[in-house]
């Protein structure tokens, strides 16, 4: 049996920057409202690249960062809810794009928790000795499924991709992971897929795939699950919050993270945030945050980092990473 470590991170966001002021020209909103309610100042919006393009570029950066060659990758998992094709999968497109000719590739969907789910699957395969080097990616072009006339949702999201390389290792680089789902409240965060449409049904095709959300319910769920996930990791790994260097939560909303940070008094600075720059990029946020932290020189060997994702489903996932 082998351990697993994170050996590289990468991310990619489209060039087009859309500020809160830009949005105030499209819907009845303001920089003041968006900044004070969410912490978001701007986001990137895809104008020519789709979900698989963003995923491929994030993957190339993660490969470079880890010094792993594309041919060495034996597993590729892309987490997304905004695929640019049903067939082939985004993972197969990435595999072709980067030339990972020895990999098996597939997609998974767990909304904003997607990257944590993908990590958990890859970690399990590696621990079982089935694969040695995995590429996991969260990639989203949420701008395709936003109702640009609905100020309640369109101001919250952005497009982007985050990637990680996981490798078999003698060091226990991911000693703990947990994923979970509770569909009893699935209706608080939804985006419809294709409706029934064939010559034998009376159902009428419904073209609206818009993200719809009960913000207050999501807020309550998020603060509870983040706090619980952190406390579970500390208890199960026999650690205290003092032992942790960074906590990287799904970047949905400044107020969610700030609320949780108040429960860990004196450790506010450990909660990394970059949602002012990118908004909520769903399954991509944690990968983008880790890559930004790496570029800023914040991540150092031996550090302990807690990751917590949460999202539609409702779903959640957490990990303790020894960097
Ligand atoms: N600009 C101006 N006014 C707005 C906007 C906007 N963009 N959006 C909503 N409003 C208005 C509403 O219409 C409402 O007006 P009314 O009182 O006249 O009806 C008023 O602001 C208050 O609306 P609320 O929904 O009560 O606003 P709230 O303070 O709850 O903030 C928010 C909304 C930011 C979504 C909040 O509920 C929240 O933080 N929720 C967490 C969920 C979240 O962040 N989701 C992200 C995606 S989900 C995920 O990633 C898992």
Determine the distance separating the centroid of ligand 1 and the alpha carbon of 78, expressed in angstroms: 30
Q: Is 33 in the pocket of ligand 1 (CB under 6 A)?
A: yes
Check residue 207 and give its pLDDT. 64
Check residue 241 and give its pLDDT. 97
**Closest among 184, 143, 172, 176 to 160, alpha carbons compared:** 143
Q: What single-letter DSSP state applies at residue 156?
A: T
| Nearest atom in ligand 1 to 280's CA | 50
Q: Is the pLDDT of residue 313 over 80?
A: yes
Domain 3-169 has CATH 1.10.3720.10: no
* Percent of all residues in the chain with a pLDDT value above 70, rounded to a whole number: 99
What average pLDDT score do residues 33-39 get?
Answer: 97
User: Is 250 labeled as catalytic in the residue annotation?
Assistant: yes
Structural tokens at position 317: 């996932």
Determine the distance separating the centroid of ligand 1 and the alpha carbon of 215, expressed in angstroms: 6
Residue 187, SS3 per DSSP: helix
Check residue 6 and give its pLDDT. 98
Domain residue limits, the chain:
3-169, 176-322
Asked if 174 contacts 166 with a C-beta cutoff of 8 angstroms, the reply is yes
Among 250, 253, 292, 322, the one annotated catalytic? 250
What average pLDDT score do residues 270-295 get?
Answer: 98
CA-nearest residue for atom 9, ligand 1, is 152
Asked if 289 contacts 167 with a C-beta cutoff of 8 angstroms, the reply is no
User: Is 112 labeled as catalytic in the residue annotation?
Assistant: yes
Query: Please, what is the Cα angle at 175 between 169 and 177, to 5 degrees?
Result: 120
What average pLDDT score do residues 77-106 get?
Answer: 98
Check residue 2 and give its pLDDT. 86
Q: Residue 17, CB half-sphere, CA atoms under 13 Å: how many?
A: 7
| Nearest atom in ligand 1 to 154's CA | 7
Structural tokens at position 306: 């807690």
Q: Is 37 in the pocket of ligand 1 (CB under 6 A)?
A: yes
Predicted TM-score (pTM) of the model is 0.96
Q: Is 218 in the pocket of ligand 1 (CB under 6 A)?
A: yes
Query: For 182-205, what is each residue's pLDDT tens digit?
Result: 999 999 999 999 888 888 988 877
Domain 176-322: which topology?
Answer: Peroxisomal Thiolase; Chain A, domain 1 (3.40.47)
Determine the distance separating the centroid of ligand 1 and the alpha carbon of 274, expressed in angstroms: 20
Range with lowest mean pLDDT among 170-179, 194-203, 242-251? 194-203
User: Is 20 labeled as catalytic in the residue annotation?
Assistant: no
> Pairing state of beta strands 160-169 and 133-140?
antiparallel
pLDDT confidence tier of residue 240, bands split at 50, 70 and 90:
very high
Q: Is 155 in the pocket of ligand 1 (CB under 6 A)?
A: yes
Q: Is 280 in the pocket of ligand 1 (CB under 6 A)?
A: yes
């Amino acid at each position: 049996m082998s351990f697993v470590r994170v050996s590289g991170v990468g991310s990619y966001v489209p060039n087009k920057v859309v500020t809160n002021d830009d949005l105030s020209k499209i819907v009845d909103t303001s920089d003041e409202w968006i900044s004070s309610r969410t912490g978001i100042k701007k986001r990137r919006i895809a104008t020519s690249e789709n979900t698989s393009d963003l995923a491929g570029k994030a993957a190339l950066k993660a490969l470079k960062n880890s010094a792993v060659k594309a041919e060495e990758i034996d597993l590729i998992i892309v987490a997304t809810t905004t695929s640019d094709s049903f067939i082939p999968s985004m993972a197969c497109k990435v595999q072709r794009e980067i030339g990972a000719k020895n990999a098996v590739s597939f997609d998974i969907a767990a909304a904003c928790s997607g990257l944590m789910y993908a990590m958990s699957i890859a970690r399990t395969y590696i621990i079982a000795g089935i694969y040695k080097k995995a590429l996991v990616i969260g990639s989203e072009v949420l701008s395709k499924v936003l109702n640009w006339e609905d100020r309640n949702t369109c101001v919250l999201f952005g497009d982007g991709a985050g990637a990680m390389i996981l490798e078999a290792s003698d060091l226990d680089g991911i000693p703990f992971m947990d994923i979970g789902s509770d569909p009893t409240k699935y209706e608080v965060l939804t985006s419809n897929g294709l409706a029934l449409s064939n010559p034998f049904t009376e159902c009428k095709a419904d073209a609206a795939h818009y993200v719809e959300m009960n913000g207050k319910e999501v807020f309550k769920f998020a603060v509870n699950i983040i706090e619980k996930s952190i406390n579970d990791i500390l208890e199960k790994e026999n650690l205290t919050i003092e032992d942790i260097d960074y906590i990287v939560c799904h970047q949905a909303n400044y107020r969610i993270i700030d609320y949780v940070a108040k429960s860990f008094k004196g450790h506010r600075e450990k909660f990394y945030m970059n949602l002012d720059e990118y908004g909520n990029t769903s399954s991509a946020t944690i990968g983008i945050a880790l890559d930004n932290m790496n570029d800023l020189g914040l991540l150092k060997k031996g550090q302990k980092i807690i990751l917590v994702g949460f999202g539609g489903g409702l779903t959640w996932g957490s990990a303790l990473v020894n960097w």
